[in-house]
Amino acid sequence: MNFDLSEEQQILVDSVAKFVANDSPVERFRKLRDTERGWDPSVWARMGEFGWLGVAYPEEQGGFGGRFVDLALILEQLGRGLVPEPIVPSVVLAGGLLSKLGSDAQRERFLAPMIEGRTSLALAYAERQSRFTPHDCRTRAERRGAGWVLSGEKTWVLNGHAADQLVIVARTAGDPLDREGLSLFVVDGDAPGLERIRVPGMDGQRSALVRLRRVEVGAERLLGPAGAARPHLEWALDRAAAAACAEGQGEIQELFDRTVAYLKQRVQFGVPIGSFQALQHRAADMYAETELCRSTMILAAIAADYEDADERQAEISAAKLQLSRGGWFVQENAIQLFGGIGVTDEQDEGLFFKRLRVLQGLFGDADWHVARYQGLRGFASEA
């Protein structure tokens, strides 16, 4: 398969890399991680002006008609600078569902301002007991007149602390573990009865615990048909897993490049430690795992546009497994080769290490994706 970038994709990659180098190096992340929001609305607005937030949306929805792989190339470069703006929760998760299921009026009201960088979004789907099973949902929506009343609690809502609107997954029919009966509602961040508790993560980024105490919404806030959200939710989470692989690839590449540079710079016994054959072998193995991560990431990004769920999930689960296993190999060896300083907060390498650990667990960890792959159509006959 040809992985060469088109001329347009190379221009896009170069522009994002230039932005990271000049406007968003790791030092910016260090400053933002101590703030309440954790990211900068003015930078978000610039991303909207650059067109990055709309690159994978159809032109008739205000986007640029690109493919998911174009967005993945942007995320890969942003990962190299630990850029914290909420592209995955806004563009991939909530924005993706608005694009797919929203009416023209809903897209105009909620999606268009986000594409322009004027607002941000979040998807609230996880609950305390649900782990990686999105249909394990106890949050309920009950009819009240023409509208709905939402009650329940959501955990680990990415950008939930700052989003202008949240797309809430609630059960409108069935029991907590039923696969059907899920619906999606767009709720304003300041809606009466909605409580958002900011939760700092180990990687310096933010999520939120969201409580809904009889939050009332009108019928126009229902996204798509009532009770039919489950396959669309799984589609959005698959694409988010592919996005995590893309961002993680940028961080793995950055960690590998920094390690090789350190091996050439650090002198011991009068020579650079990179001249020792044992360390050269270690670096060669890290290079191989980094390239495997990149190959599987690109395949996952291509597959993110597949309509067939089994084909899409096979490539994305394979990439997520490689991000976890191969990415961990690069991480642990980078920390070991840097020695004790690699785990100190003063060294940027530790920040990449922490962010990768979070990405490896987001949207399904390695064990979950292996189990899912084993259940896909055709696995038994291929094994």
Longest dimension (CA), the chain: 80
Q: Which residues contact 204 (CB under 8 A, 6 or more apart)?
A: 29, 33, 38, 84, 351, 354, 355
**Lowest-confidence segment of 39-48, 186-195, 212-221, 374-383 by average pLDDT:** 374-383
pTM above threshold 0.85: yes
Is the model's pLDDT at 201 over the cut of 80?
yes
Give the residue with greater pLDDT, 339 vs 293: 293
User: How would residue 381 be classed by pLDDT, with cut points 50, 70 and 90?
Assistant: low
Q: Which residues contact 115 (CB under 8 A, 6 or more apart)?
A: 48, 53, 54, 57, 61, 62, 63, 95
Q: Rounded to whole angstroms, how far apart are CA atoms 304 and 311?
A: 9
pLDDT at 380: 63
Contact 243, 92 (CB under 8 A): yes
pLDDT tens profile 135-182: 999 999 999 999 999 999 999 999 999 999 999 999 999 998 999 999
Q: Nearest CA to 249 among 334, 333, 319, 162?
A: 319
pLDDT at 382: 53
Is the model's pLDDT at 1 over the cut of 80?
no
pLDDT tens profile 18-48: 999 999 999 999 999 999 999 999 999 999 9
Is the model's pLDDT at 383 over the cut of 60?
no
Q: Rounded to whole angstroms, how far apart are CA atoms 34 and 351?
A: 14
Angle between helices 230-265 and 348-361 (to 10 degrees): 160
pLDDT at 343: 82
pLDDT tens profile 310-333: 999 999 999 999 999 999 999 999
Q: Strand runs (DSSP E) across the chain, as ranges? A: 121-124, 140-144, 147-158, 165-171, 182-188, 194-200, 206-217, 222-223, 267-268, 271-272
Q: Under DSSP, is residue 47 helix (H, G, I), strand (E, B) or coil?
A: helix
pLDDT at 139: 98
pLDDT at 305: 96
pLDDT at 3: 74
Query: Around Cβ 26, how many Cβ atoms within 10 Å?
Result: 16
Q: What are phi and psi of 214, to 5 degrees?
A: 50, 55
Query: Around Cβ 253, how many Cβ atoms within 10 Å?
Result: 19
Contact 111, 61 (CB under 8 A): yes
Tokens (6 digits) for 86: 């909420």
